[in-house]
Amino acid sequence: MKNVAVIGAGTMGNGIAHTFAQKDYKVQLIDISQASLDKGVATITKNLDRMVAKERITEEDKQRTLNNITTYTNMEEGVEYAGLVVEAATENVDLKLKIFQDLDRFCPDDTILASNTSSISITKIAAATSRPEMVIGMHFMNPVPIMKLVEIIKGYSTSQETYNMVEEISKKLGKVPVEVNDYPGFVANRILMPMINEAIETLYNGVAGVQEIDTVMKLGMAHPMGPLQLADFIGLDVCLSILNVMYDGFKNPKYAPCPLLVNMVMAGKLGVKSGEGFYDYSESRKAETVAKMFA
């Protein structure tokens, strides 16, 4: 399998495309927005430049990686030869169901369809296709080129053969795959999101400020990044959507999103990608923000 289509060129999609391309897969990067594709390729280029500067890869590796990526705004054209599709579009259930119906129509019969969803049921996504045994969760972590884990989620109908293929591909990417069953939040977010939500609740209740909460968790618990900073990196809209899926899925109030998180998402304060979340990422404040984060 040499051709991998990646749907969505946002935070995760460009990282997934980068990772496959660096391991010599031919990547078809597909997004409905040309601006997202341009931004995604610019991000990949910048990240590769950083790797060259650190002498982790050579200039030739960088060029080879970029040459392995082709961009498309038309899904049907992009997936024509794909052996594997990794969907990393916006976290919205109706959108994903529609994308998987389209993928099922446009992809060859033997194409494995994987979703990078953080929380939406793989079983539900699979049921939108005529090949549920070939649908699987391939949950990469952010930033994808650096983070080792891939949570591989088996839906109710996912075949062992599909699992084995995706496990092998994950290993070829230099990642460590972990097998997980399909329940809301899987493992990573079921544990991480309540912690992030509690950090936001702590801020909302006025117990401590942003930097203070993050410092407690960094220096007290040896976390490499505070939970509020991590939420900014993940995207506050993504955090809210994952909490809502767990709240609905388990019918348990412990997953209810903090009203402050809901308000920030409604106000468009989504974290790094929108330029502001718990920290300010605007150009004029970037240096100050970075200094605070590493304080």
Ligand X SMILES: NC(=O)c1ccc[n+]([C@@H]2O[C@H](COP(=O)([O-])OP(=O)(O)OC[C@H]3O[C@@H](n4cnc5c(N)ncnc54)[C@H](O)[C@@H]3O)[C@@H](O)[C@H]2O)c1
Active site residues: 118, 139, 151, 189
Q: How far is the CB of 230 from ligand X (least distance, A)?
A: 9
201 in a labelled binding site: no
**Which residue lies nearer to ligand X by CB, 7 or 213?**
7
Q: How many residues bind ligand X (CB under 6 A)?
A: 27
Bridge partners (DSSP) of residue 149 are 176
**Facing residues of 48 across strands?**
none
- Supply the angle between the helices 227-234 and 188-204 in degrees, to the nearest 10: 120
Instruction: Give the separation between CA 135 and CA 126, rounded to whole angstroms.
Output: 5
Q: DSSP 3-state assignment of 225?
A: coil
- Applying CB under 6 A, among 29, 44, 99, 246 the residue interacting with ligand X is 99
Which span (2-10, 153-161, 208-216, 287-295) binds ligand X, by CB under 6 A?
Answer: 2-10
Is 48 a residue that touches ligand X (CB under 6 A)? no
**Could you tell me the two tokens for 158?**
């996912």
Give yes or no for a contact between 41 and 14, defined as CB atoms under 8 angstroms apart: yes
Contact 116, 87 (CB under 8 A): yes
Q: Is 162 a binder of ligand X (CB under 6 A)?
A: no
What is the torsion angle, in degrees rounded to the nearest 10, for the CA atoms of residue 11, residue 17, residue 22 and residue 26? -170
Letter string b/e over residues 23-48, b meaning 16 or more CB atoms within 10 A of that residue's CB? eebbbbbbbbeeebbebbbebbbebb
Instruction: Give the DSSP letter string of 230-250.
Output: HHHHH-HHHHHHHHHHHHHHH
- The pattern of x and - marking residues 195 through 234 that bind ligand X according to CB under 6 A reads ---------------------------------------x
Could you say whether residue 11 binds ligand X (CB under 6 A)?
A: yes
Does the annotation list 13 as a binding residue? Answer: yes
User: Which of 1, 93, 95, 97: binder of ligand X (CB under 6 A)?
Assistant: 95
> Does the footprint of ligand X cover residue 33 (CB under 6 A)?
yes
Residue choice 19, 71, 111, 117 for contact with ligand X (CB under 6 A) = 117
Cβ-based neighbours of 269, under 8 Å, separated by 6 or more: 236, 276, 277
Residue 284 CA to residue 119 CA, distance in Å, equals 35
CB of 83 to ligand X, least distance (A): 19
Helix (H) or strand (E) holding 39: helix 34-53
**Rg (the chain; Cα; Å):** 19
109 labelled ligand-binding: no
Rule CB under 6 A: is residue 258 a binding residue for ligand X? no
CA angle 115, 230, 113 (to 5 degrees): 5
Answer for which of 17, 30, 246, 258 binds ligand X (CB under 6 A) is 30
Find the binding residues for ligand X in span 128-157 (CB under 6 A).
139, 142
The answer to whether 31 is annotated as binding is yes
Closest approach of ligand X to the CB of residue 32, in Å: 4
Map residues 176-195 to x or -, x wherever contact with ligand X holds by CB under 6 A.
Answer: --------------------
Nearest-approach distance from CB 233 to ligand X, in angstroms:
6
Q: Indicate the annotated binding residues for NAD(+).
A: 8-13, 31, 91, 96, 118, 142, 273
Question: Site residues (CB under 6 A) for ligand X?
Answer: 7-13, 30-33, 36, 88-91, 95, 99, 116-118, 139, 142, 234-235, 238, 273
